[in-house]
Every structure is written in structure tokens, then in C-alpha cells.
Amino acid sequence: MKPTTLPIALLDPSPRRMELIFRPDRFEELQSLVQLKPGPGDPQFQKPTPVEIDAILPEATYVIGQTDMPQSRLKSAPHLKAIINVEGNFLPNIDYDYCFARNIHVLATSPVFAHPVAEIGLGLALSLARQIPQADQAFRQGQEWYGLTGSHSAVLLRDLPIGIVGFGDLGRALLELLKPFAPSHRPVAVYDPWLPDRIIRDAGAVPVGLDKLLSSCRAIFVVAAVTDANAGFLGAKELDRIPRDSLFVLLSRAGVVDFDALTKKALDGSLRVATDVWPEEPFDKAHPIRTAETAVLSAHRAGAVPSCLLEMGDRIVEDIRLINAGLPPISCKRGQAETVGRMRSRPVKKT
């Protein structure tokens, strides 16, 4: 028996399904914090019609989902405290300025992707350093070479200066995994033009300029978000700065790099390239990078870990509990007036 005084949450998670983002006990907990509309017993559960949405908003405290929220709808929802995106990115279907003027939080569950991307990022780097996929494939074909004979190109990550391009949630998660590989006299280098140096230093890395990072590091992780301003900022000239035979791991968006130039580097053996992101997805079946010998290729799988999607539910419950108690949310990422627009151009992540 739920008290009738529970705040109401419009539930509109599509294209996600609640069972993919909530563990059963967390879904129970959610229902102890809010009254879901449409609820589990309703015919339109998880997929309210526009008419239903308009009917629910006037009494809603929360929106859970990527519902279009133009000013007209926002105006019809006087009790609204938070819109919680369960897809991952801030989309251009909300009147953010109006939300901020009303102190309506716009939240995204994207922090759940930091750990899975960081883990596969390190896995790709170690795969490049030791040619793990190539050696596995050779073994399966009965063509393996034992010991040093098959490992002349093996390098130790610990021996390579490491650099991270971009230092958001993902860069920070990656840094923690990389710290044991960086000796104390040569900490991980970080480039992020949006961040004061002090903050990078406090996190245990060393802030450097982009050119310095590219020319001095030999294991480079690209986790910078793409914006209108930085598209293609890693062009042919920048890639040329990177020392020969370095590891280059691309994790955020293909749009930050000149992909043709990168492909050339991968094919002529001057860089060992791993990438999880692609200029178009699905990607050209005949593209030459598919044949690059030392490369490691991954089809936008970095964030795609089922257990991480379930962390979305954890974070939603945590923040609703806080907001119900009159406190600010802290588990989801908060849209901010200055940046929410810059990120709008990101394509929908297919996870």
C-alpha cells in the first residue's frame, strides 16, 4: 500500500526498457519513492502516448525518460523538479534555459559509462602493446610463435609515457586504472583545455599542452567529447607529432580525429591504433583499416556492458531520494546552462 502522497513520476524511458536499467530490488525501491505513471499495471507502461504525457505532467514532480519538453509542456508542469534522461546524452528536445530558470534539474545517467569505457580502453592498449588478438588468432590457426620469437614488437605499457586527451568522468576513470603503470617520476599527462591545471594536478596527473602530449607520449588515450568547436582537432599534422610505433586508443567519438589520416598511420605501421568509434556506424565494410595488421578494432562496444546499464537505476533512485529530501542530486550528471548546448550534437549512443 503506497501512501497517496508520493510524488508522481512520468515514466517514459523508451528506447530503454526498465528491466535493463533497474535491478528488481531497485525498481521496488523506486516505487517506494515515487508513484510511476503509467505504472506497472497500466497498458501503456513504459510507453505513454503524447496524450497521456500531457495528462500526467501537471501533477508530475519527475520525468524519467527522454520526453520532448518544450516550454509549453514545462509550463504545464508546475511541480516539476527533475527530468532524468536514461539514455545517456543531453538531447536538444528540452528547453534547458527555461528549466534552469525554474531550478528544474536536467539529469543524465551517462556517468555509468565511465568505468566500462575505461576498462576496455586499458584492455585495448594492452592488446596493442602485446598484440594479444593477433597472437590469439595465430594460435587458433596453428601458426603461433613461442616466446621472444613471436614478441619482438612487444612493449611494456609501464615503459611508455602515457597521455590522456580529455579529462571528464571517463578520463578520470581511466587515469585511476593507468596510475599503476606510470612510475612516480613520470606521471600520466593530461590535456584538457577546459580545465585549470590545478585540478588535473590534484587528480594525480600532469597537465600539458596538446602538442607536448602528442610528441612526448607513447600511449595516448583519446576520450575528449566532440563539440562544435573541436571537431577533427586531431588532424594529420597532430598525428604526425606522435612518436613512431606509439599506441593510440580512440574511445570517445570518431569526429575528434581525421579518420583518413589515422587509417593511413595504422596501415603504414607508424601507429598502433585501437578504436571503438567510427565515422559512421555501421562502418564501411570495405574500409582499409579493417586490414591494418597491428590495429585492434571494436564496434562501439566500450559502454555496452549490461551490468553498467543497471547502474543507471541505482543512480536514478539515489538522486530521487535526495531530491525528495530537499537536497540536490549528485549521482547523475547535471545539465549545466553553459555546456548543455555544446554537447547536443552528439549522436545517440547505440547501447
Q: Does 184 bind a second copy (CB under 8 A)?
A: yes
Task: Report in angstroms how near the CB of residue 67 gets to a second copy at its nearest.
Answer: 22
3-state helix, strand, coil in the chain (%, to 5): 40, 15, 45
Binding to a second copy (CB under 8 A): which residues in 120-139? 120, 122-124, 126-127, 129-130, 132-133, 135-139
Task: Report in angstroms how near the CB of residue 162 gets to a second copy at its nearest.
Answer: 12
Residue with grid cell 612510475, as numbered in its chain? 183
Residue with grid cell 596453428, as numbered in its chain? 142
The stretch near a second copy (CB under 8 A) out of 43-51, 199-207, 236-244, 254-262 is: 199-207
Question: Looking at 15, 40, 211, 327, which residue binds a second copy (CB under 8 A)?
Answer: 327
Question: Looking at 4, 5, 198, 268, which residue binds a second copy (CB under 8 A)?
Answer: 198
Residue with grid cell 527522454, as numbered in its chain? 66
Binding to a second copy (CB under 8 A): which residues in 271-310? 281-283, 285, 290-291, 296-301, 303-309
Which is nearest to 350 in space by CA: 257, 253, 265, 264?
253
The stretch near a second copy (CB under 8 A) out of 7-15, 217-225, 239-247, 317-325 is: 317-325
> Are the C-beta atoms of 302 and 120 separated by less than 8 Å?
yes
Binding to a second copy (CB under 8 A): which residues in 142-181? 142, 144-148, 150-152, 154-159, 176-177, 179-181
Task: Report in angstroms how near the CB of residue 233 gets to a second copy at its nearest.
Answer: 16
> Are the C-beta atoms of 65 and 91 separated by less than 8 Å?
no
> Are the C-beta atoms of 300 and 346 separated by less than 8 Å?
no
Q: Does 261 bind a second copy (CB under 8 A)?
A: no
Question: Looking at 318, 324, 344, 345, which residue binds a second copy (CB under 8 A)?
Answer: 318
Give how far Cα 118 sits from Cα of 247, 303, 309, 333, 351, Å: 15, 9, 15, 18, 16
How many chain residues bind a second copy (CB under 8 A)? 93
Q: Give the Cα separation of 243 and 160 in Å (integer).
A: 11
Q: Does 187 bind a second copy (CB under 8 A)?
A: yes
Give how far Cα 324 sits from Cα of 9, 62, 78, Å: 12, 10, 16
Which is nearest to 84 in space by CA: 11, 23, 34, 25?
11
Q: Does 94 bind a second copy (CB under 8 A)?
A: no
Question: Looking at 204, 232, 235, 243, which residue binds a second copy (CB under 8 A)?
Answer: 204
What is the CB neighbour count within 10 angstroms for residue 350? 12
Q: Does 244 bind a second copy (CB under 8 A)?
A: no
